[in-house]
Amino acid sequence: MKIAVCPGSFDPVTLGHLDIIERASELFDRVVVLVMTNSAKHCAFTVEERIALLKKCVCNPKVEIDTYSGLLINYAKEKGAVAIVKGLRAVSDFDYEFQQALINKSLFPGIETVFLTARSENMFLSSSMVKEVCSLDGDISPFVPKEIVKDIYLRCKGDN
Ligand code: ADP
């Protein structure tokens, strides 16, 4: 069974993330969406909340949601994953992602990093953009799954 891990902060999950998760599930037998705890990043939602939001909008039986606070590659090894799947939006993502992929490959040569290009309509979409639009009272419904629009408004509206 070929397992892939889709890591990220998902603070909160957007339609861009969901697209990558769904496409990964067509390429692999099982996909683990891994909510990473990154102390350097200030998150609007706790890990538990981010998981709950993901669970509200991911209902693919091939996809599981998990969390990890250690080194991604150690999780991938323990899980028996063959790939880390990342979404690439623009050139700006590339430098960082390429560096991560090279480090992960040297730490664990048994794993591949697979990059899926973002759909053109999601190229500009990020969790931080969603939070910013929401805090300024903009309409976030074109960017996030409808199941979680209300949750995001409750947390981020009027945050500016
Ligand atoms: P961000 O980079 O917005 O903080 P995450 O850390 O949660 O988001 O990203 C998790 C993964 O999802 C990364 O591989 C990232 O490149 C990808 N991703 C994020 N937003 C999009 C998008 N709009 N389209 C495609 N992939 C995306």
Which amino acid is it at 61?
Answer: P
CA–CA dist 73, 7 (Å, integer):
11
Residues with Cβ within 6 A of ligand 1?
8-10, 14, 16-17, 20, 86-87, 89, 93, 118, 122, 125-127
Three-state DSSP class for 152?
A: helix
CA–centroid distance, 2 to ligand 1, in Å, is 22
Q: Is 127 a catalytic residue?
A: yes
CA–centroid distance, 12 to ligand 1, in Å, is 10
Instruction: Indicate whether this model's pTM tops 0.85.
Output: yes
Which amino acid is it at 142?
Answer: P
106-117 pLDDT, tens digit per residue, is 999 999 999 999
69-119 pLDDT, tens digit per residue, is 999 999 999 999 999 999 999 877 888 999 999 999 999 999 999 999 999
User: By the 8 A CB rule, do 80 and 108 touch?
Assistant: no
Q: Which atom of ligand 1 is nearest to the CA of 124?
A: 23
Q: Name the β-bridge partners of 74.
A: none
Q: Is the dihedral of CA 108, 74, 21, 153 positive or negative?
A: negative
Q: Is 89 a catalytic residue?
A: yes
Q: Is 41 a catalytic residue?
A: yes
The token pair that represents 121 in the structure block: 């309509």
Q: Is the dihedral of CA 86, 92, 97, 100 positive or negative?
A: negative
24-37 pLDDT, tens digit per residue, is 999 999 999 999 98
Mean per-residue pLDDT, 121-133: 95
User: By the 8 A CB rule, do 24 and 56 touch?
Assistant: no
